[in-house]
Amino acid sequence: MSLLPVEEALERVLALVAPLPAETVPLREGAGRVMTMPVTAGLTQPPFSGSAMDGYWLDAADHLPSAKLQVVGESAAGRSYQGEITRGQAIRIFTGAPVPREGGVVVLQENTTREGDWITLADSLSGNDNIRPKGQDFAKGAPFHPARPLNARDLGLLAAMNVAQLEVHRKPVVAIIATGDELVMPGETPGPDQIISSNSFIVAAQVEAMGGIARMLPIARDDRESLRMVFDLAKGADLIVTSGGASVGDHDLVGEVAAELGLERSFWKIAMRPGKPLMAGRMGEAVLLGLPGNPVSATVCAELFLKPMLAKMQGRDPQITPRRAVLGCDLGPTGPRTHYMRACLSATDGLPMIMPFDNQDSGILSILAQADALLICERDSGPHKQGTEMCYLPLM
Amino acid sequence: MSLLPVEEALERVLALVAPLPAETVPLREGAGRVMTMPVTAGLTQPPFSGSAMDGYWLDAADHLPSAKLQVVGESAAGRSYQGEITRGQAIRIFTGAPVPREGGVVVLQENTTREGDWITLADSLSGNDNIRPKGQDFAKGAPFHPARPLNARDLGLLAAMNVAQLEVHRKPVVAIIATGDELVMPGETPGPDQIISSNSFIVAAQVEAMGGIARMLPIARDDRESLRMVFDLAKGADLIVTSGGASVGDHDLVGEVAAELGLERSFWKIAMRPGKPLMAGRMGEAVLLGLPGNPVSATVCAELFLKPMLAKMQGRDPQITPRRAVLGCDLGPTGPRTHYMRACLSATDGLPMIMPFDNQDSGILSILAQADALLICERDSGPHKQGTEMCYLPLM
């Protein structure tokens, strides 16, 4: 089996998933979600021409240095001035309050002197009318449908548009299955040949950081019955992520059992380090992604493949754009597999500096935890000299 | 009142808050949290020297080109080989399985030929022993206490250390109060002088993006009774964030009522655009932060002051390090207040390019929503020429 380039593997896993159907959520829960259809503004904003400052409103024709005007009322937010107003008169006006009519200006409080019901304008006046015109922000009926996850400020805009609920892509439910006779859960006492299951915790946090709903299932033993039982618990999930059991060894039953349960299996060896083996396919209503059992390989494969799948399922752009940094050391030639080196970033005046860890053993979690980036050494590239600009992926 | 520099205002609001006390959480909920005390590894990892590959284990002395060895058993993950093994013998071994003793090597499956119970090694052998030594990752009793929020991979490391629960700083509970007679909630029908409340939605999403728990309280009217009632609902919160009513206008009652309820009030005009007025102080067990009523000003003040406060309360580093970008246009001199200009970033080969929006009116939500950065024009700086390196803050 020849090695599959990372880009091709990504295309294939992305082809397995589609944006999930819409659900209705209250505006309050809209952050990070992608809208499936446009909304329209229910009103015009500002709904009226209003004051941008605390001060006095007067007719533009009276806006002259040292002019003296009679204060005949006030307009406050929520309580507009209802009376008449003629030339030579002014009203006290507060930020956000409606102006009595068009054709006026607001003079800032600090540019006036008040005595009783009379104000005198300052000697020198600005050309600014300090009025926010009606409809400056948006008009009633204006559509809004950004092609990206909604941010905090979008929610503010939608609120101002009087949109109380949204149609957004449903969150993917991800069932996470660790497999292996050697695994026990944290808090248990491992037998002499056993280790604590760690992959599920990493993948669950990655899924949640990406906006998915993680369901951590019990550890599946390396036998058909245990695997079938755990796959049964995964029913209803949009995506089933396994780790371990996806290699070619004699004890790798996950693929076989999943195939018996309907998996249209693809199994690839990918031209990457770490994390060569990957399994993926449709399995009934769900999609299965089989990560390697090694935690470092599983983490890197999740960054490269699971993250874009979850993005696509939520209606986001699945493309991950690598960032750029300056290499902090010399590196030898890379060989036939693209190497995702665990690395640390440090700030400089320009691009950040990236320094890979000396020990790139894919069994070492303590180094993986310290890393904040994956330095990308493209296959068959290098040697790379210190100071070269390289690409990297920030780690979740 | 002279204008307070942003840095001083930040120091003062940070002085009001402290890291919150610890709570115990299951490992599964540890992502993004900061540990209050170290944990120690409950075991040694790897707990045994194990194979890093699928292949055959043999004595190092037998590791010779074309050597022929008898296969006498196998070691699988969770089921180690219990028998004797002598020179001239080998066992089938799988990834993650214990080696029978020290002093051996694992030869990759693909570098052997098997006939019955016998294997022949390849003509040329690598110098690699393909064994992960015991304790390579961490030893039993090793402490772990990173001074930063836990990432997905930290959780994997903690799981591997057999840590099932953690002591972490409690999440801040933030009560959010919008005030103003002109405000109604989305979904309601605004009166002729009214607008829809938007600040609370922005602040709630900002609080949640920062790891806090947001409690959105009912809108408070511009009267003492309504304000007292809503402040009463805020009881139990660690932080109370108001928006609106924090200016010096005649209708700004929030500060007065909060003072009656025990607020040791500080009120500042800050040397910044937008968002000049800010109120802050201790109020019983809680801290109050009074944001301006204007949504753009409120958003910028939340980025500059609320975000670092929430970081400190969760035991994180409160310092926000501005990022660097290249200015995409010419800008005039800045004046006496640091200007946080709504801007868009675009990728280039080096540092990103930053382009501020033409319209910087702080009343326009549609521009705020599109922005992805605040370009920082330091007070009394400029003019700035196109191509200059500038600092910016990414927007949540």
Asked if residue A271 lies in contact with residue A336, where contact means CB atoms within 8 angstroms, the answer is: yes
State chain A's mean pLDDT as an integer: 92
CB contact under 8 A, A28 and B204: yes
Average pLDDT over residues B169-174: 98
Residue B173, number of CB atoms within 10 A of its CB: 19
Look at residue A61 and tell me if it is in a domain.
Answer: yes
Which residues of chain B are within 8 Å of residue A201 when distances are taken between CB atoms? 27-28, 152, 155-156, 158-159
Look at residue A62 and tell me if it is in a domain.
Answer: yes
**End-to-end CA, chain A:** 32
Average pLDDT over residues A6-14: 95
pLDDT band at B47 (very low <50, low <70, confident <90, very high): confident
Token pair of A117 as six digits: 């019901």
Q: Percentage of chain A surpassing pLDDT 70?
A: 98
Look at residue A1 and tell me if it is in a domain.
Answer: no
Asked if residue A386 lies in contact with residue A330, where contact means CB atoms within 8 angstroms, the answer is: yes
Q: For residue A55, what are the CA distances in angstroms to A87, A121, A127, B244?
A: 17, 11, 15, 17
Q: For residue B297, what are the CA distances in angstroms to A157, B260, B362, B365?
A: 14, 26, 7, 11
Q: What 3-state class would DSSP assign to A359?
A: coil
Average pLDDT over residues B373-387: 96
Average pLDDT over residues A48-68: 93
Entry field: residues in chain B: 396
Q: What is the DSSP letter of A108?
A: E
Q: Do B116 and B73 reside in the same domain of the chain?
A: yes
Look at residue B139 and tell me if it is in a domain.
Answer: no
Asked if residue A239 lies in contact with residue A175, where contact means CB atoms within 8 angstroms, the answer is: yes
Asked if residue B292 lies in contact with residue B277, where contact means CB atoms within 8 angstroms, the answer is: yes
Residue type, A351: L
pLDDT band at A103 (very low <50, low <70, confident <90, very high): very high
Cβ-Cβ contacts under 8 Å between A and B: the total is: 279
Q: Do B111 and B160 reside in the same domain of the chain?
A: no
Q: How far apart are CA B101 and CA B110, in angstroms?
A: 23
Q: Is the Cα torsion angle A210, A216, A217, A223 positive or negative in sign?
A: positive
Counted domains in chain B:
4
Mutation pick from A24, A99, A196 vs chain B, by most beta carbons of B within 10 Å, is: A196
Q: Do B238 and B196 reside in the same domain of the chain?
A: yes
> Considering CB atoms only, which of B159, B347, B395 is closest to A197?
B159
Q: Do A302 and A175 reside in the same domain of the chain?
A: yes
> For residue B380, what pLDDT is reported?
94
> Considering CB atoms only, which of A138, A182, A185 is closest to B366?
A138
Asked if residue B287 lies in contact with residue B281, where contact means CB atoms within 8 angstroms, the answer is: yes
Average pLDDT over residues A181-186: 89
- Of the candidates A320, A327, A321, which has an alpha carbon nearest to the alpha carbon of residue A346? A327
Q: For residue B182, what are the CA distances in angstroms to B217, B223, B253?
A: 16, 12, 14
Locus of tokens 């003492």: B224
Q: Do A159 and A39 reside in the same domain of the chain?
A: yes
Q: Do B354 and B382 reside in the same domain of the chain?
A: yes
Does any CB of chain A come closer than 8 Å to the CB of residue B54? yes
Angle between helices B152-160 and A199-209 (to 10 degrees): 160
Residue type, B163: V
User: Cis bond leading into A277, ω under 30°?
Assistant: no
Please tell me which residue of chain B has the smallest CA distance to A48.
Answer: B193
Please tell me which residue of chain A has the smallest CA distance to B99.
Answer: A193
CB contact under 8 A, B54 and A248: yes
Q: Do B307 and B191 reside in the same domain of the chain?
A: yes
CATH number of the structural domain spanning residue B27: 3.90.105.10
Domain region containing B328: 323-394
Alpha helices by DSSP H, listed for B171-283, are: 199-209, 224-233, 254-260
- Of the candidates A139, A170, A213, A237, which has an alpha carbon nearest to the alpha carbon of residue A35? A170
- On the question of pLDDT at A331 being above 60, the answer is yes
Q: How far apart are CA A55 and CA A227, in angstroms?
A: 73
Q: Do A346 and A297 reside in the same domain of the chain?
A: no
B340 burial type by CB count under 10 A (0-12 exposed, 13-18 middle, 19+ buried): buried
> Residue B196: phi, psi to the nearest 5?
-85, 140
CB contact under 8 A, A47 and B95: no
Asked if residue A148 lies in contact with residue A171, where contact means CB atoms within 8 angstroms, the answer is: no
Q: Do A270 and A187 reside in the same domain of the chain?
A: yes
- Please say which residue of A149, A169, A189 terminates a domain: A169
CATH number of the structural domain spanning residue B327: 2.40.340.10
Average pLDDT over residues B203-228: 94
Token pair of A311 as six digits: 């993005």
Residue B344, number of CB atoms within 10 A of its CB: 17
CB contact under 8 A, A205 and B247: no
| Those residues with Cβ within 8 angstroms of residue B394's Cβ, 6 or more apart along the chain or in another chain | B323, B345, B372, B373
> For residue A1, what pLDDT is reported?
58
> For residue A249, what pLDDT is reported?
53
Look at residue A308 and tell me if it is in a domain.
Answer: yes
Contact residues, B window 376-395, toward A, CB-based 8 Å cutoff: 395
Asked if residue A36 lies in contact with residue A317, where contact means CB atoms within 8 angstroms, the answer is: no
Q: How far apart are CA A157 and CA B295, in angstroms?
A: 9
pLDDT in tens, B6-18: 999 999 999 999 9
Does any CB of chain B come closer than 8 Å to the CB of residue A246? no
Q: How far apart are CA A199 and CA A203, in angstroms?
A: 6
pLDDT in tens, A120-177: 999 988 888 999 899 999 999 999 999 999 999 999 999 999 999 999 999 999 999 9
Q: Do A262 and A277 reside in the same domain of the chain?
A: yes
CB contact under 8 A, A156 and B78: no
- On the question of pLDDT at B302 being above 80, the answer is yes
Alpha helices by DSSP H, listed for A68-163, are: 152-160
CB contact under 8 A, B138 and A366: yes
Residue type, B312: K
Q: CA of A209, closest CA in chain B: separation in Å?
A: 9
User: Cis bond leading into A292, ω under 30°?
Assistant: no
Q: Do A109 and A246 reside in the same domain of the chain?
A: no
> For residue A245, what pLDDT is reported?
67
> For residue B250, what pLDDT is reported?
44
- Of the candidates A122, A152, A140, A135, which has an alpha carbon nearest to the alpha carbon of residue A43? A140
Q: What 3-state class would DSSP assign to A97?
A: coil
pLDDT band at A308 (very low <50, low <70, confident <90, very high): very high
Look at residue A354 and tell me if it is in a domain.
Answer: yes
Q: How far apart are CA B251 and CA B201, in angstroms?
A: 23
Q: What is the DSSP letter of B64?
A: -
Look at residue B140 and tell me if it is in a domain.
Answer: no
Asked if residue A300 lies in contact with residue A374, where contact means CB atoms within 8 angstroms, the answer is: yes
Q: How far apart are CA A26 and CA B216, in angstroms?
A: 13
Average pLDDT over residues B126-155: 94
User: Cis bond leading into A143, ω under 30°?
Assistant: no
pLDDT in tens, A202-220: 999 999 999 999 999 999 9
CATH number of the structural domain spanning residue A286: 3.40.980.10
pLDDT in tens, B242-297: 988 655 554 578 888 988 999 887 878 899 999 778 889 999 899 999 998 888 99
Look at residue B372 and tell me if it is in a domain.
Answer: yes
Q: CA of B263, closest CA in chain A: separation in Å?
A: 25
Alpha helices by DSSP H, listed for B101-249, are: 152-160, 199-209, 224-233
Asked if residue A295 lies in contact with residue A199, where contact means CB atoms within 8 angstroms, the answer is: yes
Lowest-pLDDT choice from A167-171, A367-371, B178-182, B344-348: B178-182
Locus of tokens 């057999």: B162
Lowest-pLDDT choice from A106-110, A151-155, A260-264: A260-264
Which residues of chain B are within 8 Å of residue A76 when distances are taken between CB atoms? 181, 222, 251
Does any CB of chain B come closer than 8 Å to the CB of residue A222? yes
Q: How far apart are CA A9 and CA A7, in angstroms?
A: 6
| Those residues with Cβ within 8 angstroms of residue B290's Cβ, 6 or more apart along the chain or in another chain | B241, B242, B243, B245, B246, B254, B255, B258, B267, B277, B278, B279, B280
CATH number of the structural domain spanning residue A114: 2.170.190.11
Q: What is the DSSP letter of A189?
A: -
Average pLDDT over residues B219-247: 89
> For residue B245, what pLDDT is reported?
66
Q: How far apart are CA A121 and CA A68, in angstroms?
A: 6
Average pLDDT over residues A14-36: 97
Give A384's strand partners: A331
Does any CB of chain A come closer than 8 Å to the CB of residue B139? no
Q: Do B94 and B67 reside in the same domain of the chain?
A: yes
| Those residues with Cβ within 8 angstroms of residue B334's Cβ, 6 or more apart along the chain or in another chain | B377, B378, B379, B380, B381, B382
> Considering CB atoms only, which of B153, B295, B324 is closest to A156?
B295
- Bigger pLDDT: A292 vs A381: A381
pLDDT band at A250 (very low <50, low <70, confident <90, very high): very low
User: Cis bond leading into B383, ω under 30°?
Assistant: yes
> For residue A46, what pLDDT is reported?
85
